[in-house]
Structure 1
């Protein structure tokens, strides 16, 4: 990470402004493909997000990192509700899937971020959207043992009987262990 990315990561708006005014390249990325937006969104620094979107030119709101995740994904995955709201208000694409087919809904549910999950349900993300393994957000919440998220998704209308598409080795071990002797 360079100094510009670090200033976004830690929410140091004034330092970010000084670096930009001194000629720092604003379209930089970390080795993982994180941009200024990714860094600020993941850490929930809304003033930094506002500066990036309002004062910098040619910023791609839906740029993906090496995992195929946008700043919107990063905010959802890390429970940053204010950053998520800012990105929604800025017109980000809600439907983008990462390289594993996860939406922001999958990531928030799998990490147990109830407030973010509620907001994603409120903006009407598809509850039955499946990732590459056929998992819905409900599966992700159940797998992560996030009871509040499971209950929220069920109240919102998630299908309690949705099936995955891929059996993983851990699923098979659980099934074998549950079989009567």
Structure 2
């Protein structure tokens, strides 16, 4: 992480502006492929996101990190609702999958971010979209033991008997949804 990325990571807009005005290289990334946009989105720093999108040139809104995740994925995974809304308003592609086939819906559900999950459902993301393991967001929520997310997804129309192949055995979502809670 360099000073520019750290200022975006921690939401220090003024420091970021000073560094940019002093000639810092804006198209940088860390060893994991995180860019300024990823760092600001993960931390939910909307003023920093706005500066990056509005004042810097040639910023790739949907650039993926080494996991194949965009800033939109990062915001969803870390429960950053305002950042998510900003990125959608900026025109990001919310249908992109990461290298494991996860959508933002999978990541939010697996981490238990109910408000973000609701927003993603409202955006119209496909509830039955499967990742590389054949899991839907409902499976991710159930495996992460997030009953509020399970209930939200079921209420939104997720298929309770979505069949998946995991370790060559068949599982139905219903037993997972019943879970230990």
TM-score by length of 2: 0.92
Deviant stretches of 4+, over 3 Å: none
Q: 1:168 & 1:58 partners in 2: Cα distance?
A: 45
The RMSD of aligned alpha carbons is 1.1
The DSSP-based 3-state class of the residue aligned with 2:163 is coil
In structure 2, relative to structure 1, the CA distance for the partners of 1:18 and 1:153 (3 Å cut) is same
For 1:13-162, list aligned pairs within 5 A. Answer: 13-162=13-162
Structure 2 gaps of 5+ residues are 172-181
The DSSP-based 3-state class of the residue aligned with 1:164 is strand
The DSSP-based 3-state class of the residue aligned with 2:115 is helix
Listed one character per residue, the Cα deviations across residues 128-164 of structure 1 (whole Å, up to 9, x for unaligned) are 0000000000000000000000000000000000011
Listed one character per residue, the Cα deviations across residues 46-76 of structure 1 (whole Å, up to 9, x for unaligned) are 0000000000000000000000000000000
Listed one character per residue, the Cα deviations across residues 15-53 of structure 1 (whole Å, up to 9, x for unaligned) are 000000000000000000000000000000000000000
Q: CA deviation at 1:166?
A: 3.1
Q: CA deviation at 1:168?
A: 6.9
Structure 1 gaps of 5+ residues are 172-181
TM-score by length of 1: 0.92
Q: 1:15 & 1:4 partners in 2: Cα distance?
A: 8
Q: 1:167 & 1:109 partners in 2: Cα distance?
A: 21
Q: 2:148 & 2:75 partners in 1: Cα distance?
A: 19
Q: 2:84 & 2:71 partners in 1: Cα distance?
A: 8
Between structure 1 and structure 2, the one with the greater Rg is 1
The DSSP-based 3-state class of the residue aligned with 2:47 is helix
Q: CA deviation at 1:167?
A: 2.2
